[in-house]
């Protein structure tokens, strides 16, 4: 398999054998691909220039060829300046990269997801009036949809009925949002409020999210809901990038 001047971004890289780098590259038409940048650590002129380019958040176009899961990186050039993500926005970019490495299969194209990823990076590198949370939540929703794990934010996944703004719901991997019943609301069960706060979502907040409204309680609802929905597919291994957010709080 080969590609010629395919646009994309470096998601992750690590040393490979004595003088090379193993690059996880997110390309627009071929999805996530594993590339070996031979001699990139050697310090020679060509290897050094390639290594300098292979950095996260730099728009690139790369060529590669080879059989099997590992391809040999050929020509690589920049499509623009590296995006500078200040403060917590850097952690947000690393978080997106880690999600893509953990959840995308190799050689599985997701052009819509790629375009959305590039758009969120541009937002994070620009003058985002609000916090980075809302672009991240929207990215998580698109990621789940592209992986085939999306769910309706406006209806009960079990009954098919529209959500009741005053009712409480929880997330089930098989169905999405499922009604809990009035007796399960935190107000009715104050002793269980702390234990189950990550599993309960108010219908009004979910309906706001379905319309793209992240104001009021919908913002926290989205964070908790996306964390729970992604956890079902990430497994037990924690995300390293989340530690960065905790350390900065």
d(C-alpha 55, C-alpha 90), whole Å: 13
Tell me the β-bridge partners of 70.
Answer: 34
On average, the pLDDT of the chain sits at 88
Q: How far apart are CA 123 and CA 57, in angstroms?
A: 12
User: Are 15 and 21 within 8 A, CB to CB?
Assistant: yes
Q: Which residues in the chain come in under a pLDDT of 50?
A: 45, 182-198
Q: Who's near 158: CB < 8 A, 6+ residues apart?
A: 172, 175, 178, 179
pLDDT digits (tens, 9 = 90+) for 144-163: 999 999 999 999 999 999 99
Tens digits of residue pLDDT in 216-225: 999 999 999 9
pTM of the entire structure?
A: 0.88
167 close to 143: Cβ distance less than 8 angstroms: no
Q: Edge-to-edge strands of the sheet including 176-179?
A: 176-179, 168-172, 201-202
């Amino acid at each position: 398999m080969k590609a010629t001047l395919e646009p994309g971004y470096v998601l992750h890289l690590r040393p490979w054998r004595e003088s090379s780098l193993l690059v996880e590259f997110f390309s627009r038409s071929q999805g996530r691909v594993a590339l070996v940048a031979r001699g990139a650590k050697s310090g020679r002129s060509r290897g050094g220039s390639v290594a300098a380019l292979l950095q996260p958040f730099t728009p690139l176009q790369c060529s590669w060829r080879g059989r099997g899961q590992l391809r040999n990186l050929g020509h690589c050039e920049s499509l623009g300046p590296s995006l500078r993500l200040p403060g917590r926005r850097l952690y947000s970019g690393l978080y997106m990269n880690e999600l893509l490495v953990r959840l995308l299969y190799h050689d599985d194209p997701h052009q819509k997801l790629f375009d959305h990823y590039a758009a969120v990076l541009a937002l994070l590198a620009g003058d985002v009036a609000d916090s980075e949370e809302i672009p991240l939540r929207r990215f998580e929703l698109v990621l789940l949809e592209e992986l085939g794990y999306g769910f309706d934010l406006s209806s009960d996944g079990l009954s098919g009925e529209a959500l009741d703004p005053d009712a409480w719901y929880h997330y089930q991997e098989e169905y999405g949002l499922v009604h809990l019943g009035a007796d399960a609301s935190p107000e009715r069960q104050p002793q269980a409020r702390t234990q189950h706060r990550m599993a309960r979502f108010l219908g009004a907040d979910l309906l706001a999210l379905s319309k793209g409204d992240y104001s009021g309680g919908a913002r926290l609802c989205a964070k908790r809901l996306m964390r729970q929905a992604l956890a079902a597919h990430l497994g037990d291994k924690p995300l390293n990038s989340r530690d960065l957010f905790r350390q900065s709080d």
